[in-house]
C-alpha cells in the first residue's frame, strides 16, 4: 500500500489500482459543517456549557447566536479549521471568529471572538479525542479526529454529487 498527497486528495495504490480517498478539502463547506454538527450532537462529551447559554460570540456582535444548535456548529467549524491549518492556537481561532466592532461614527476596528467559547469548544473536542495539545504551538487534530472528518466528508460527497456536477471526479 502506498499513500501519496496529490492536491490534498489522498490516492492509495493497492495492487496497482488507484483508489481516491475523500478528504475535507473535497466537499462544500456548509454541507460538511452541518453534517459534522449533527454527528457531534450525538457525542456525550460535547454539550453547550451553562455559562455560555446566553453569551454573545464576540464583542462585534449585537445579539447572541440564533440557531438552536449553534454550539455544535461552532465545534464543527473549529474542528474543520484545525484540520485545515494542521496546528493552530486559541488566539488565532479567536481572530478567525471575531469581526468588526461598530463604534458609531468612528471607524470600525477588528475585534477578537469570545475566548471562553473557543477555549471550551477546544476542551470538549480534546475530551472527545479529536484534538491534542502541542506544547508551544496550539492544538492539532488526532488520527481519530482525521478519520472522523474524512468519513463524514465521504458521506457528504455522496449526498451532494448531484447538486455540484464537478464533484464526480472525486
Domain ranges of the chain: 28-149
Q: What is the pLDDT of residues 76-107, one digit of tens each?
A: 999 999 999 989 998 999 888 888 888 889 99
pLDDT of residue 127: 92
Place of cell 482525521: 146
User: What's the confidence (pLDDT) of residue 12?
Assistant: 56
The reported pLDDT for the residue numbered 68 is: 80
The pLDDT value recorded for residue 20 is: 63
What is the structure's pLDDT at 3?
Answer: 47
Q: What is the DSSP letter of 36?
A: H
- pLDDT score for 1: 43
Q: Which DSSP symbol is given to 52?
A: G
pLDDT, position 4? 44
Determine the pLDDT at residue 21. Answer: 78
148 Rama sector, left if φ>0, alpha if ψ -120 to 50, beta otherwise: alpha
pLDDT, position 113? 84
Mark the ranges of the chain whose per-residue pLDDT is less than 50.
1-7
Fold observed for domain 28-149 = Arc Repressor Mutant, subunit A (1.10.10)
Decide: 160 and 28 in contact? Cβ < 8 Å: yes
pTM for this model (two decimals): 0.81
Amino acid at each position: 500500500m502506498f499513500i501519496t498527497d496529490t492536491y490534498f486528495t489522498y490516492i492509495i495504490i493497492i495492487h496497482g489500482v488507484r483508489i481516491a480517498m475523500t478528504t475535507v478539502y473535497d466537499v462544500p463547506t456548509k454541507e460538511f459543517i452541518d453534517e459534522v454538527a449533527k454527528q457531534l450532537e450525538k457525542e456525550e462529551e460535547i454539550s453547550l456549557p451553562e455559562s455560555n447559554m446566553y453569551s454573545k460570540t464576540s464583542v462585534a456582535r449585537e445579539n447572541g447566536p440564533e440557531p438552536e444548535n449553534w454550539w455544535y456548529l461552532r465545534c464543527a467549524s473549529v474542528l474543520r479549521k484545525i484540520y485545515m491549518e494542521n496546528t493552530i492556537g486559541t488566539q488565532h481561532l479567536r481572530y478567525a471568529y471575531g469581526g468588526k466592532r461598530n463604534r458609531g461614527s468612528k471607524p470600525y476596528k477588528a475585534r477578537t471572538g469570545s475566548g471562553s467559547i473557543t477555549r471550551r469548544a477546544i476542551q470538549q473536542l480534546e475530551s472527545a479525542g479529536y484534538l491534542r495539545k502541542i506544547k508551544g504551538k496550539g492544538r492539532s487534530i488526532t488520527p481519530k479526529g482525521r478519520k472522523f472528518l474524512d468519513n463524514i466528508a465521504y458521506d457528504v460527497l455522496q449526498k451532494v454529487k448531484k447538486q455540484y456536477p464537478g464533484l464526480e471526479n472525486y
